[in-house]
Structure 1
Amino acid sequence: MDASGVTIRLIQADEVAAFRRIRLEALRAEPSSFASRYEDWEILPDEEWRNRLNEPVFIAFQDGEPMGIMGLFRQRSSKMVHRATIVMVYVRAHLRGTGLAQRLLEAVSDHARNIGIRQLELFVSAENPAAIRFYQRQGFSEIGRIPGGVLEEGREIDDVIMVRRLVD
């Protein structure tokens, strides 16, 4: 399957159902790819789901169905407001390799530039080499690691910290 006919857009607070559907799917389908657990999110009340949309969340839709997600979490401190972290990255398995993840990243990057973000940051599991390669192809550089950044089923897994400048 290809990603033609897929539209990507910044979702609004009244689209919480689509957000919940794709976020829970991501956590269920790829539990080792996220710092959050499905069990922590499935119990959130509607108000908390809406609150999480106070930060930009982009969803890829095909025929009205969410196919991928990527969010942006901006730093709050006035000295760090130029930085944002990419979060909740997920594309349905049958659409991986179609360029959809790159299109999501472009939408998030464009939005970030438009709101004054100068640097994008992210954390990725050291056990996810495909994601690390993807981010490297998109201009991200590894700047460090957090040893044992995530505890998954009793195992400590390093988080790889990656950064991409949006302005020179």
Structure 2
Amino acid sequence: MDKHQLQIEMDTYKIRQLHDSEAMLYKAMRLEAIQTEPSMFRCSSPAEADLTDEEWRERVKYPRAVFILLDNEIPIGMTSILRLNEDEAYLGQSYIKKEYRGKGLSGLLYKIRMKWASKLPLKRLTVSHRESNTISKAANQRLGFVFTHREPLNWLDGTTEDVLYYSLELSQKVHHKEALQDN
């Protein structure tokens, strides 16, 4: 993957790929997301709050790309994509601060990740969400993701609820051109 950092703008909003040197911005936004919305994130081992700064730096490097959502250069959200293997990447870690939700900004999170994926010879994208997260379900289905399976999962809020998985076959969608168009 080349070192060119992706970016998309919409009005006062911008989403851009983080540079390796911006790992602490990723750390701050991710930890805020987990603390603010524990019901939306999975338990991880080790817990993300316990990661070292070096481990955070590694998490912004390929095969992962992390994107920061900004309003006039103020961080208001984030998302990531992780290449799992030669054919597939996983979309995850999406978060938008509550006061910015309902403004159509989740579309930017999908567009930037689809744009990143289009630069690779991937065949499939996968995404998942907590079963009760109907907003996430609607967002991924607008882009053509199809339900594949479910699994029980322990969430950071201490509850257990199924996680639903979806996939998008890129060979059939030709990298979903509508999602790649810039505003």
Residue 155 of structure 1: CA displacement?
Answer: 3.5
Matching residue of 1:115: 120
Residue 116 of structure 1: CA displacement?
Answer: 1.8
Residue 53 of structure 1: CA displacement?
Answer: 0.7
CA distance in 2, matches of 1:131, 1:11: 23
CA distance in 2, matches of 1:152, 1:48: 20
**Mapped pair 1:34 → 2:41:** yes
Matching residue of 2:23: 16
Matching residue of 2:58: 51
Residue 44 of structure 1: CA displacement?
Answer: 1.5
**Mapped pair 1:92 → 2:97:** yes
CA shift digits 1:6-29 (9 cap, x unpaired): 111111110112111211111111
Residue 151 of structure 1: CA displacement?
Answer: 4.8
Normalised by the length of structure 1, the TM-score is 0.87
Residue 60 of structure 1: CA displacement?
Answer: 0.9
CA distance in 2, matches of 1:62, 1:154: 32
Matches within 5 A, 1:78-89: 81-89=86-94
Residue 152 of structure 1: CA displacement?
Answer: 5.3
CA shift digits 1:26-76 (9 cap, x unpaired): 111111111146x92222111000000111111111232211111111113
Matches within 5 A, 1:87-166: 87-146=92-151, 148-151=152-155, 155-166=159-170
Residue 154 of structure 1: CA displacement?
Answer: 5.2
Matched to 2:126, the amino acid is E
CA contact (8 A) 1:124 1:161 kept: yes
Normalised by the length of structure 2, the TM-score is 0.80
Quick one: structure 1 residues 69 and 154, their matched pair in 2 at CA, closer, same or farther if it must change by over 3 Å? closer
Higher relative contact order (CA 8 A, sep 6+): 2
Matching residue of 2:82: 73
CA contact (8 A) 1:82 1:117 kept: yes
Structure 1 unaligned blocks of 5 or more: none
Quick one: structure 1 residues 160 and 5, their matched pair in 2 at CA, closer, same or farther if it must change by over 3 Å? same
